[in-house]
Amino acid sequence: MKQEYTLTIYTENQVGLINKIAIMFSRRKISLESLNTSPSEIEKIYRFTIVVKETETVVKNLVRQIEKIVDVFKVYCNTNDEIIWQQMALYKVPTAIIMKEVKVERLLREYGAKAVVIQEDYTVFEATGQDEEVNNLLQELDKFGLIEFVRSSRIAIIKSSEGIHKKVLDMEKNDPTKQPINNEFLNHKSVIFEM
């Protein structure tokens, strides 16, 4: 049965890595529901959050193949109940209409949205939540002359994970070239060719 899986991938910060990861999916004709990439809490280590709708067998295989990429540290794969996840959305609506409509204010309170910019001709609201909340607000604001809308990709925190810090340290322990020093390596400057 296909369902949503959130993959959390920790990688070296290297040019072209997004392609190396993306082709793992495109080769199997799997489309990405969402993709986010950003620096992690550790300097020079990046975190990808990818959402796919697939069967367990396919995702399991994918995870192992992605982990095989030389510059990938670790891949976590979680179902929605194993993660805390959010996405952000921006809504642009005509200021004139919302000034008149009392309802809008109530809506915004209901959805925890806030105004980011208020201009004479338009106002931009921001809301954070899961698909349902973002979509509901979208439907509501559509009634008030929504001009533009954008949503971010999903970001997720894994409920059970100990984080990557310890894992990377463990990996460093296998490094026969030097004694692991707590956290110090993380500030090492030439990470790509760290040997």
Partner 1 sequence: MKTTVRSLKEKTKTINTTGSLAVIDALLSEKADTIFGYPGGAIMPIYDALYDFKDKLNHILVRHEQGAIHAAQGYARVSGKTGVVFATSGPGATNLVTGLADAMIDSTPLVCITGQVFAHLLGTDAFQETDIINITTPITKWNYQVTDAKEIPEAIAKAFFIAKSGRPGPVLIDITKNAQLQLFDYIGYRPCIHVRSYRAKPNVRIAYIEKAAVIINQAKKPFVIFGQGVLLGNAEKEFQAFIEKAGLPAAWTIMGMSAIPTDHPLGVGMLGMHGNYGPNYLTNECDVLIAVGMRFDDRVTGRLDKYAKQSQIIHMDIDPAEIDKNIQTTVPVWGDCKETLPLLTHLLDKKIHREWFNEFEIKREKETTVVIQKELHPTEGGLTMGEVINILNELTGGDAVIVTDVGQHQMVTCRYAKQNKTRSNITSGGLGTMGYALPAAIGAKFGAPERQVIAIMGDGGAQMNIQELGTIMQFQPNVKILILNNSFLGMVRQWQELFHEKRYSFTDIQSPNFVQVAKGYKIDGRQVSKREDLRESLKQMLDHPSAFLLEVAVIHEDNVFPMVMQGKGVAEIILSKEEI
Residues that bind partner 1 (CB under 8 A): 11-12, 15-16, 19-20, 23, 27, 60-61, 64-65, 67-68, 70-73, 168, 171-172, 174-177, 193-195
64/106 with CB nearer partner 1: 64
Q: Shortest Cβ distance from residue 51 to partner 1 (Å)?
A: 22
11/123 with CB nearer partner 1: 11
Q: Shortest Cβ distance from residue 18 to partner 1 (Å)?
A: 11
27/103 with CB nearer partner 1: 27
What's the start-to-end Cα distance of the chain, in Å?
Answer: 42
Helix, strand, coil % (nearest 5) of the chain? 35, 35, 30
14/36 with CB nearer partner 1: 14
CA distances from 23 to 28, 64, 74, 136 (A): 8, 14, 17, 33
The Cα 118–Cα 56 span in angstroms is 46
The Cα 51–Cα 78 span in angstroms is 10
Neighbour tally for 135: CB within 10 Å: 13
19/130 with CB nearer partner 1: 19
Q: Shortest Cβ distance from residue 158 to partner 1 (Å)?
A: 19
Give the burial class of 154: count Cβ atoms within 10 A of its Cβ; 0-12 exposed, 13-18 middle, 19 or more buried.
buried
Q: Shortest Cβ distance from residue 163 to partner 1 (Å)?
A: 16
Q: What is the sign of the dihedral through the CA atoms of 192, 187, 72 and 80?
A: negative
Q: Shortest Cβ distance from residue 5 to partner 1 (Å)?
A: 17
